[in-house]
Amino acid sequence: MSNWIVLVINTVIGFLLTPVILSHIGKDGYGLWALVSSVVCYYGLLRMGVGSAIMRYVSLNDGRRDATAVNGTFSTAMWIYIAVAIVLIILSFAISKPLAGYFDQGEDFRVLLVYLGIASALNCPSAVLEATLRSRERFVAANIVMTVITIIRGLGLSAVLFAGYKLPAMAGVILVTSGIELFVMWWIFRIHCRDIHFGVTDVSVAHVKSLLSFGIMAAVLSGAIMLRFQYDRIIIGKILSLEILGIYSVMATLLVNFRNIMRATSRVLNPRFSFLDGRGDVRSSTELFLRSSKMSAVLSSGICLLFMLAGPGFIQLWVGRGFESGYPVLMILSVAYMIGQSQTASSALLAGFGKQTILAILTFAEAAISILLSIFFAKRYGLVGIAWGAAIPMLVFQGAVMPLYICRYIGISFVSYYWQCLAGPWILTLSVLGVVNIFGSPVQVAGWFELIAMCIVVGFAYGLLSYQLLLDKYEKVLVVSRAAMMVKKA
C-alpha cells in the first residue's frame, strides 16, 4: 500500500512541476536539465551494485538468522559507499568543464553537473540505509521518508522558479534536499533497525568480496539499465538539439512513470524471492513468479492502453501545444514498454536468486543494440528514429529472449508460460484498441473532464474484462482481498 501512495504522490508532484518548469525555463532549459540529469545517472556505475547486494544478503542472512553476517554486510556496504561518495564529488568538479565543451554548453551545464553530482554523492549512504530498510521489508518507513523528501523538493523547486531563479537554483534545491534525506533516513533507520550496528570492526574482507562479487554483476546490470533508459537523451542532446530533447523529455516523463508503476509492484518481490531462496522453497518461488508475471502483464497492458488512447490528449492539456512531434514517440514506446514491463517478475526472480550475470548480459546486449540503432535512425528519421531504435531491441529481448531463458531456468513450458501469463493481457489490449478505433480515435479531447471520463470508462472496462477473462478463481479472490485491504488501510 505504501509503495502505491509514494508512487501517486511522486507522479502528482511530477505532473504539477513539469508545466511550471517548462513555463519558466522553456524547452531548451528543460532539455538541458534532462541532459545533465542523464549524465549524472551514470554516476551510479561507481556504486558497483552494492545496493542490490544489500537487498540480497541482508534478506538472505535474516532468513538464516545470522545477525553477525547482517551487521557485517551493512557496515561494509556503508564504508564502501562513503568512499564512492568522495570519489563522486571529486569527479564532478573534474569533468564538468570538459563535458560542457563536448556538448557545446556554457556555465549553466557546469554548475548543474557539480551541484547534481554532489547530491548524487549524498545519496550514496542514503541508498545503503534505504536498501537495508527494504530488505527488512520496512517498506512503509522507507516510503514515508521518500514521500516527505519528494514534497519538500517539489515545493523548493516551485519556490525558486516563481522567485525568478533558473537552473542553478533548481540544482541547489536538489542538493539541499539530498542532505535532508540522508539525515532523515538515518534517523528512521535507527528506529526500525536497532539490532543493526555501524562500525569499523564489523567490516571484513569476506563481506567485501561477497558484496562486490554479487555487486559487480549488479553494477553491470545497473549500467546496462542506465544505457537502456538514459542513452536516448544524450544522443538527442548531441545529435539533434536541446529543444527536441525538451519535447522528448515530456514524453519520457510519462514512460518513466510507466516504469515506476511496474517497479513499485516488483520492489516487494526481490527480497521475497531472496528469502524463499534462503529457505530453499522452489515450489513457492515458482508459484509466486507465475502469478506475479500475469499481474505484471495485466497492469502493463492496461497502462499501455491508456497511453495509446489518452496520451496525446493528456499532453496537450498538460503542457499545451508545441509537443505534437513527440506523439509518435509515445505511441511506439508505449507498445514496447507493454512488452518489456511485463517481464518485471522475471527480473525480480533472477535478481532475488542472485542470477545477476545473465540478467546483466541480456540487458547490456539490448542496450548496446538500442544505442547503435538509435544513432543510425536519429540521423535519418530524427526523434521517431530514436523511438524505433529503443523499441525494436526491447520487443525482441523482452518479448522472446527473456521469456525463453526464464522458462528454461525454472523448468516450465515456454508456450504454457506465454499463454498463461503474457498473451492474454496483450491480446485483450489490442482488442480494446481495435474496438475503440472503430468509433474513431479519441486523441483529441475538449478538456480535462472529457479526458478523465474516457480514462475511467476505458480503465473500468479493461479491468472488468481482465478480471473475468484472465484471472483464475484463486487470483480473483486474491485481487478482491487485496483491494479490500487497501481500501481499509486508506
The number of helices, as runs of H, and strands, as runs of E, in the chain is 19, 0
Kindly report the pTM of this predicted structure: 0.80
Does residue 421 contact residue 415 with C-beta atoms inside 8 Å? no
- pLDDT band for position 29 (50/70/90)? very high
- pLDDT band for position 180 (50/70/90)? very high
Asked if residue 420 has pLDDT above 80, the reply is yes
Cα–Cα distance measured from residue 6 to residue 264, given in angstroms and rounded to the nearest whole number: 9
Cα–Cα distance measured from residue 459 to residue 450, given in angstroms and rounded to the nearest whole number: 14
Residue (of 304, 278, 274) closest to 288 by Cα position: 274
Asked if residue 254 has pLDDT above 70, the reply is yes
Mean pLDDT of 248-259: 90
- pLDDT band for position 364 (50/70/90)? confident
Beta strands in 218-267 (DSSP E): none
Q: What is the mean pLDDT of the chain?
A: 85
Does residue 121 contact residue 85 with C-beta atoms inside 8 Å? yes
CB-based contacts of 483-489 (< 8 A; 24+ apart in sequence): 485/1, 486/1, 486/4, 489/1
The confidence score (pLDDT) of residue 441 equals 55
Residue (of 298, 309, 314, 305) closest to 253 by Cα position: 314
Query: Which has more confidence, 71 or 118?
Result: 118
Cα–Cα distance measured from residue 85 to residue 137, given in angstroms and rounded to the nearest whole number: 26
With 0-12 / 13-18 / 19 or more C-beta atoms within 10 angstroms meaning exposed / middle / buried, residue 360 is buried
The confidence score (pLDDT) of residue 479 equals 72
Does residue 274 contact residue 56 with C-beta atoms inside 8 Å? yes
The confidence score (pLDDT) of residue 330 equals 93
Cα–Cα distance measured from residue 170 to residue 24, given in angstroms and rounded to the nearest whole number: 11
Cα–Cα distance measured from residue 273 to residue 345, given in angstroms and rounded to the nearest whole number: 10
Which residue is it, cell 542472485? 354
For the stretch 99-114, pLDDT in tens is: 999 888 888 999 999 9
Asked if residue 215 has pLDDT above 70, the reply is no
What sign for the dihedral angle of Cα 160, 164, 165, 167? positive
Indicate the residue type of 144.
I
Cα–Cα distance measured from residue 80 to residue 439, given in angstroms and rounded to the nearest whole number: 59
For the stretch 427-465, pLDDT in tens is: 999 888 888 777 655 556 678 888 898 889 888 989 899
What sign for the dihedral angle of Cα 364, 297, 383, 158? negative
Cα–Cα distance measured from residue 124 to residue 80, given in angstroms and rounded to the nearest whole number: 9
Count of C-beta atoms within a 10 Å radius of residue 94: 11
- pLDDT band for position 119 (50/70/90)? very high
DSSP state letters, 275-319: HHHHHT-HHHHHHHHHHHHHHHHHHHHHHHHHHHHHHHHHHHHHH
